[in-house]
Structure 1
Amino acid sequence: IVEQNTANYPHYCDAKQPYGCPAGQAAYYGRGPIQLSWNFNYKAAGDALGIDLLNNPWRVEREPDVAMMTGLWYWNTQNGPGTMTAHNAMVNGAGFGQTIRSINGSLECDGRNPAQVQSRVDAYLRFAAVLGVAPGGNLYC
């Protein structure tokens, strides 16, 4: 529901954005199924969904429907640090590794955090096995 490392909370405010951080310096931490973070992502998601998440980011942790909408918004529309959306990575054969790059690549890919990447791949493989589906190739970013 929320990012567990509270020490990170004050680091997700890009005050250079023209709208600033009206909910406070430490208000834009990771929330929801894809851990939406940063004031610019809350602004963009809120604008796309017709919800004022810039001024009230807590809705993502308090309202499950809002949490899921932000997760689906990011999955389907945002490249993040990658070159494609996570959705496009999966449906167009780029593989699970590209979903990692699109969601958290600047922190985990290109050798930055191999243990975390391995943990994500292991979890993905477990889910694929439970569902009885082939995991595909390109598992790592």
Structure 2
Amino acid sequence: MPPPTLTITPKLLLSVFLVGALASAVVAQDCGCVSDECCSKWGYCGTSPDHCGSGCQSGPCNRNDIQVADIVTPEFFNGIIDQSDGDCAGRSFYSRDAFLRALGSYQGFARLGSDDDSRREIAAFFAHATHETGSKDYCEEENTQFPCNPSKGYYGRGPLQLSWNFNYGPAREQIGFDGLNSPETVANDPEVSFKTALWFWTNNVQPVMDQGLQRRADFYTEYCRQLGVAPGDNLTC
């Protein structure tokens, strides 16, 4: 991803992966493995269960047979939506159907590790989605690969608040919408909106969470409770 890059710090690792709780299915880095090898959670290439199993970052990872739709039930999803104010536009914009349609483009989401691992990743994803907000322009003018349209703003949109031109640009290429010239599509098309969130979650290190860490952890813990899985320890170290 073009600069500025995300820095992996101990706090980032603890807050993003909720250390001790999540078996990450996100691609945090390009390990440089050949196409038939897996990149393990520790960044090593190979084909053993340790490489392709829980925590596998990329390559032919072993996916479980979890059906995300069976976990993200209408009751669970609508319970999240119902937390918002009655006049919140997102109440009618975001829907479970849109999320599941977007999920079709990201078959690896919540599909690595055990049943509990899958439930924790789903809980973490929706904890971030519940918390995120944004309000700035978010234009990195020095980025020439994905130049800003001066009449557009690249502030947070979507469940994970996709921000910055260097994220809207690659999302455009992967998802198929004009992220640089029509970033508002993320706020107007619920399926594209969920696709941007799933794209960011599965292809990048999740955002640094210096602000609102306890609130995210609270959401995560509550969603784990609803999904019937223990959240783990050290959630806000």
State the TM bucket, normalised to the shorter chain: 0.5 to 0.7
Structure 2 CA distance for aligned equivalents of residues 138 and 23 of structure 1: 43
Alignment equivalent of 1:50, drawn from 152, 155, 176: 176
Q: Between Structure 1 and Structure 2, how many residues are aligned?
A: 106
Unaligned runs of 5+ in 2: 1-89, 91-131
Q: Which residue of 2 aligns with 1:21?
A: 148
Amino acid at match of 1:121: A
Give me the TM-score of the superposition, normalised by structure 1. Answer: 0.67
Q: Which residue of 1 aligns with 2:233?
A: 137
Alignment equivalent of 2:157, drawn from 22, 31, 47: 31
Structure 2 CA distance for aligned equivalents of residues 104 and 47 of structure 1: 24
CA contact (8 A) 2:134 2:156 kept: no
Give me the TM-score of the superposition, normalised by structure 2. Answer: 0.41
Bigger share in helix:
1
Q: Deviations over 1:76-133 (max 9, x none)?
A: 0012xxxxxxxxxxxxxxxxxxxxxx2234xx1xxxx4xx100110111111111111
Q: Which secondary structure state, in structure 2, belongs to the residue aligned with residue 104 of structure 1?
A: coil
Structure 2 CA distance for aligned equivalents of residues 51 and 5 of structure 1: 21
Runs of 4+ in 1 over 6 A off after TM superposition: none
Greater CA radius of gyration, 1 or 2?
A: 2
Q: Which residue of 2 aligns with 1:127?
A: 223
Between the two structures, name the one with larger relative contact order (CA 8 Å, sep ≥ 6).
2
Structure 2 CA distance for aligned equivalents of residues 118 and 32 of structure 1: 22
Amino acid at match of 2:198: L
Q: Deviations over 1:34-72 (max 9, x none)?
A: 100001100011111122111100000000000010000
Alignment equivalent of 2:195, drawn from 69, 88, 95: 69
Q: Which secondary structure state, in structure 2, belongs to the residue aligned with residue 67 of structure 1?
A: helix
Q: Which residue of 1 aligns with 2:185?
A: 59
Percent identity at matched positions? 42
Unaligned runs of 5+ in 1: 80-101
